[in-house]
Amino acid sequence: MVLSEWLLVGVASTFAAAGGVAQRQQRLRHLQRVTRSLSFPDGAPRVLILSASIGGGHNAAAAVLRHDLERLGSHACILDGFALATPLLSRYFAWLYPLQLRYTPWLYELQFRSSHLRTWTRMWRRIYAGLGGVAFRRLIEELHPDVVVSTYPLVTQALGVLRSTGRLLTPVAATVTDYGVHRLWIAPGVDLHLVPSRVSAEQVEDATGEVRVMQPLVREAFRQSRNRAAVRQRYGFAADDFVPLVVAGAWGIGNVALIVRDVVECGVRVVVVCGKNQELAEQLRREYAGCSTVQVWGWTDQLPELMTAADCLIQNAGGLTCLEAIACGLPVLMYRPIAGHGVFNAAAMERAGAARWIRSADELRMVLRGAAAGRIQLPVPKIDEDAVPAAEAILTLVAGRGARIGTGRTLAAQLVRSGSS
């Protein structure tokens, strides 16, 4: 077991040991405040979406689901399930994840690979179900959703345990937005797993419910057609400019500065989106000050337009940004992928024909210069023909549900019981 896994076990043990009466009461009160602020109107399917603020992809996927579900006439609400059930662990992960990728990527890679082993997956499943399972069950008992959807792996694990042991009667769906399917992202007991490709579905081994391929889980803006020439003109691109778009994700993690340097050396025009990493954006702006062929952006809502204007996406992690490019019909190049899920996704996307994995600076120069000169045609990624809209697939669980979850004891009754014990 690697160092970060020992740290996680230590943190989990600390949280478990801290579960005295006062702490349980505090958590129940917090859950009660949350449920009082929420309500599902009657008369339409009610969907509870549980996400996590680890990176930006889980919340972004949750927001897309809510929009699409509500457009189909359902009522949907989003909660940060990870922070709600295990707030300290959520903060610990949010702190540790970017630090590992920046300073000890080899350690993150080792942790990612070891936790993909079935033995370790079962261990993490038991640990997190023990830490968060009670909170999730009580939350669902209070809100009475018709279906629960998870966009975060550990939340999926806890819900799967509750479902498989009969402590949760509400159907559960889980979304996987990465082409590479890590074992922690799939849980026995979950009724429906939604994955982005057939290659992803082939990687699923531990699911006991249905596995379906979903259409790219992206905002509607990425699905709309635009006048490409007009958009390029608006961003100042000439007709013969070849424009790679480098997107560093929400946190701007990985060797982004080196990626940009390699792309610039190819003699093409470059647009870089650094996400919320202001330090990275400022560094690149200083480095390329006065260079008219390099544009550096921070966080922006204009990615749909930028993807329309660009000639290819260069990415190092996979996940939601690549799904957005695929929905736009933009060729994807995976280059210098980050440790763990970045390498995992690059391999899976290449097998699925969704991206080309560029393995060296020489190959990058050959591909980009060839594409700019018209000697190489970058393939446009295709969506699997059997892919279904995620929201429609989720609502099939509501239609097929036999009985509504029992109310059990309310949170108020639990508080009284805990206070008198």
- Model pLDDT for residues 112-124, shown as the tens digit of each residue: 899 899 999 999 9
**pLDDT value of residue 4:** 46
Q: Which residues have a Cβ under 8 Å from the Cβ of 340 and sit 6 or more positions away?
A: 101, 105, 108, 109, 111, 112, 113
Encoded tokens for 384: 């699997």
Q: Are 178 and 341 in contact (CB under 8 A)?
A: yes
pLDDT band at 303 (very low <50, low <70, confident <90, very high): very high
pLDDT band at 405 (very low <50, low <70, confident <90, very high): very low
**pLDDT value of residue 81:** 94
pLDDT tens, position by position, 185-198: 999 999 999 999 99
Instruction: Say how far apart CA 60 and CA 117 lie, in whole Å.
Output: 28
Strand pairing report for 244-247 and 312-315: parallel
**pLDDT value of residue 335:** 97
**pLDDT value of residue 39:** 65
For residue 247, what are the β-bridge partners?
A: 273
Identify the sign of the CA torsion 266, 358, 200, 61: negative
**pLDDT value of residue 197:** 96
| Choice between 21 and 87, residue whose per-residue pLDDT is larger | 87
pLDDT band at 290 (very low <50, low <70, confident <90, very high): confident
pLDDT tens, position by position, 158-185: 999 999 999 999 999 999 999 999 999 9
Integer angstrom CA distances of residue 129 from 125, 136, 173, 405: 6, 9, 17, 19
Lowest mean pLDDT among 19-23, 102-106, 212-216: 19-23
**pLDDT value of residue 173:** 98
pTM to 2 decimal places: 0.86
pLDDT tens, position by position, 212-246: 999 999 999 999 999 999 999 999 999 899 999 99
Residue 100 pLDDT exceeds 80:
yes
pLDDT band at 411 (very low <50, low <70, confident <90, very high): very low
Residue 380 pLDDT exceeds 50:
yes
Q: Which H or E element spans position 244?
A: strand 244-247
**pLDDT value of residue 25:** 54
Mean pLDDT of 395-418: 48
Residue 409 pLDDT exceeds 80:
no
Mean pLDDT of 258-265: 96
For residue 312, what are the β-bridge partners?
A: 244
Residue 413 pLDDT exceeds 60:
no
**pLDDT value of residue 149:** 98
Q: Residue 72's CB: how many other CB atoms inside 10 A?
A: 16
Strands (E) across 230-279 are located at 244-247, 270-273
Residue 15 pLDDT exceeds 80:
no
Q: Return phi, psi of residue 110, to 5°.
A: -65, -40
